[in-house]
A and B are shown apart, each in its own frame.
Chain A
Amino acid sequence: MPTDQIQYKSRPGNLILSEPNKFKVDNLRSEEMIINVGPQHPSTHGVLRLEVLMDGEIVKEVVPHIGYLHRCFEKHGENLPYNQVIPFVDRLDYVASMNSEHAYAMGVERMLGIEQQIPKRVEYIRVLVAELNRIASHFIAIGTYGMDIGAFSPFFWLMRDREHILRLLEWASGARLLYNYIWIGGLFYDLPVGFEERCQEFVTYIKPKIQELNTVLIENKIFVDRTANVGVLPLDLAINCGVTGPMLRGSGLRFDLRKVDGYSIYPELDFNIPIGEGKMGKTGDCWDRTYVRFEEIYESLKIVQQCLEKLTTEHKRTRDFDPQALVPKKIRPKAQDLYVRAEIPKGELGFFFRADGKSDIPFRCKCRSCSFVNLSVLQEIAKGVLIADLIAIIGTIDVVMGEVDR
């Protein structure tokens, strides 16, 4: 509301930290000190604040302080009809919105019992755009990670190539990052005419570029020296901490919900699940996690190609195909609790719904975000590392603060 009143009065008491430090300076030993990293720091990938207890250059304890990007997703979810929550779902993991939308739409469709009726063409388009977005997300993860630890040019290359994906998705949905494209029971629009051909062109274009990325970054000796044996996450700790996604696979477990749950049309597609094998150092180090992301780009490209093939042959565009044909007018699921999960680029995204059966607004809409859980492992693996390695570890967790804070 516009106002001419001064909305904020300056008082010394208001200048204290909104979240006080866990460690007090008075209680420290003489060689210890507290370093505050963030919330405004490029290497924390957003508004993440870390309180680091240091002994010289060695990290003794890391306390993440989060909540700086809290936008009340769950409160909004309880106050809006199911279909109107989708734009908020976009804003959770804002570099891979299609994947989150897919998970959400799948959950509501499962509650309505229409999951099996979704037309094949719709499912193929969903998976196509979701995998394109997965590639874009991994481009960001690898590019910014390279930049974190000193390799500058891969970032520009990957941003350039990511832009091609974003243009494709913009063409399909009308928006560059926050799409609102996958709807409950269907899609906003069918793919535009010529999309398949352009997408195929992109796949042909990107393949040598990824090879180039491999040479310049992943297998680069400087990069390997910097990341191998750093931030080793043992598998038992990873599972106990609930870590999922490339982080868990980097620790050596072949666990991908696309294979395990086999949702949507993923069982019909042929792709592999890359895992970290400790090629350059110990299994579960920073290099392994980056390598898993890098290999997943190839696998996603494989999926994209298969989807394109199906979309141009078996499930071709027809004049009377309506992607909104199954979109329910009123979304009112029966009274039930449902937990749905799907693999997004960062890991397992889960939604917990409680429907009361009387309204088209969820009684409870909880988001189990993978970045939130993956970030909680930081305080376990960052003990005893150098402060420079702490930055290297944050990069491989691949946090998106929008999803951590929701």
Chain B
Amino acid sequence: MLDSFVAIIKPLCQTEPMIDEVSSPKAIKVSAQDLVPAMDALYRNPTTYFDMLSCITGIDNGVQAATMEVVYNLYSIPFNHHLMVKVILPRDHAEVDTVSHIWRTANWHEREIFDMYGVNFKNHPDLRRILMPADWEGHPLRKDYSHQEYYRDIKVAY
């Protein structure tokens, strides 16, 4: 099953997509510049038809690994297929194209990841903070995050 998904996106990718068997559901790793063509193909291809984007997760692998990950969980309602798509980004330049023009639900998920990790989603229609206040400093779920001492003269204590 996974091989057929890889076969669909392979011609569109500039770098070879990799298979990750440890994840559940099984995952494909693609590079950041290949993400949108690959996702678009998975969405449109009549044999996959991933019409539901269940979840987008941001992961910070820490300062030592110096990478961040964005994980997309796709689901196809008619075929009952699951797929995880992973993108690994450099930590100091975390930038990836938005998929909110394919699935509208990505809009808020991406805003949340921008809020929590500072990943920049290019071409996103409305990239603002969503959970934290607009004038908050830093991105709280980064592994090296330390909170600001005062927010508008209110002490920020854990």
Give CA–CA (A78, B145) in the complex, Å.
13
**A239 lies within 8 A of B84 (CB):** no
B107-147 interface code vs A (CB 8 A; 1 in, 0 out):
11100000010000000000011111111000011000000
Which single member of B23, B54, B155 contacts A348 (CB below 8 Å)? Answer: B54
- Asked if B103 is an interface residue, CB under 8 A from chain A, the answer is yes
**A7 lies within 8 A of B154 (CB):** yes
A-B contact pairs, 20 of them (CB 8 A): A1-B157, A11-B152, A13-B152, A18-B134, A19-B134, A22-B128, A67-B129, A67-B130, A70-B132, A75-B141, A239-B77, A241-B103, A242-B104, A336-B22, A336-B23, A338-B24, A350-B55, A352-B71, A376-B104, A405-B131
How many cross-chain pairs have Cβ atoms below 8 Å apart between A and B? Answer: 107
User: Contacts A337-B84, A339-B24: A14 and B51 contacting too (C-beta < 8 A)?
Assistant: no
Chain B interface bracket (under 10, 10 to 19, 20 to 34, 35 or more): 35 or more
- The residues of A with any CB-CB pair to B shorter than 8 Å are 1, 7-9, 11, 13-14, 18-20, 22, 66-67, 70, 72, 74-75, 78, 110, 237, 239-243, 253, 255, 260, 335-339, 341, 348, 350, 352, 354, 363-364, 366, 368, 372-373, 376, 380, 405-406
**B52 lies within 8 A of A364 (CB):** no
User: Contacts A255-B77, A337-B84: A241 and B71 contacting too (C-beta < 8 A)?
Assistant: no
**A240 lies within 8 A of B104 (CB):** yes
- Asked if B94 is an interface residue, CB under 8 A from chain A, the answer is no
Give CA–CA (A20, B133) in the complex, Å.
9
**A364 lies within 8 A of B59 (CB):** yes
- The residues of B with any CB-CB pair to A shorter than 8 Å are 20, 22-25, 27, 51-55, 57-59, 71, 73, 77, 80, 82, 84, 103-105, 107-109, 116, 128-135, 140-141, 152-155, 157
Q: Closest chain A residue to B73 by CB distance?
A: A339
Give CA–CA (A352, B84) in the complex, Å.
11
**B131 lies within 8 A of A239 (CB):** no
Smallest Cβ distance from B73 to chain A, in angstroms?
5
Which single member of A9, A241, A380 contacts B153 (CB below 8 Å)? Answer: A9
Q: Which residues of B contact A20 (CB under 8 A)?
A: 134
**B73 lies within 8 A of A350 (CB):** yes
Smallest Cβ distance from A109 to chain B, in angstroms?
13
**B140 lies within 8 A of A75 (CB):** yes
Q: Which residues of B contact A11 (CB under 8 A)?
A: 152-153
